[in-house]
Structure 1
Amino acid sequence: MTPLVLGELDVDGVFLSSVLVSAVIALAISFPLRRLLAKVGAYRFVWHPALFDTALFVILWAAVVTVPSPLKF
């Protein structure tokens, strides 16, 4: 099994790591999701909101990284 090489993104001659790009996408998704969770009142059931937000970001980041990649067995 060969490792998945993520590569880089070229933006007008500036190379950006795909890790940075995926993290920014996950962060952009997490802001409206956190606002929605706060509006619904889900944070009443959370023991530590900052820890919950960090875990939510990590889960979204993992989803952004894994969803577009093809599955290899």
Structure 2
Amino acid sequence: MPRDIALLGAYIPAMVPLSIAGAALTWAIDRLLGALGLYRVVWHPALFRASLLVIVCGALGLAVYR
């Protein structure tokens, strides 16, 4: 995947669509973990969600740029 993507004549970094996809994937994982009741044993749910977003976006970036 190239480092820049042309979108309507403007170049955007490739991490922008990956971050959007990572946010959508994180939302789906968050809903699943909430339905399973995992957040009852998590100390700080907001921090857990933020770190989950970083992990998912980082994994997508590594998968594409490796």
**Fold equivalence (TM over 0.5):** yes
Please give the root-mean-square deviation of Cα atoms over the aligned residues, in Å: 1.3
Rounded Cα–Cα distance in structure 1 between residues aligned with 2:51 and 2:65? 22
**Structure 1 residue runs without a partner (length 5+):** 1-5
Rounded Cα–Cα distance in structure 2 between residues aligned with 1:62 and 1:69? 10
TM-score (norm 2): 0.87
For the pair shown, which has the larger CA radius of gyration, 1 or 2?
Answer: 1
Rounded Cα–Cα distance in structure 2 between residues aligned with 1:15 and 1:46? 40
Quick one: which of 14, 21, 26 aligns to 2:17? 21
Structure with the larger RCO, 1 or 2 (CA within 8 Å, 6+ apart) = 2
Rounded Cα–Cα distance in structure 1 between residues aligned with 2:53 and 2:13? 18
Rounded Cα–Cα distance in structure 2 between residues aligned with 1:43 and 1:30? 15
> Share of identical aligned residues, percent?
29
**Structure 2 residue runs without a partner (length 5+):** none
Which of structure 1's runs of 4+ aligned residues deviate more than 4 A? none
- What is the DSSP-based 3-state SS (H/G/I as helix, E as strand, rest coil) of the residue aligned with 2:6? strand
Deviation at 1:68, TM superposition (A): 2.5
Length, aligned pairs only? 65
Rounded Cα–Cα distance in structure 2 between residues aligned with 1:19 and 1:69? 10
Amino acid at match of 1:49: P
- Higher helix fraction (1 or 2): 2
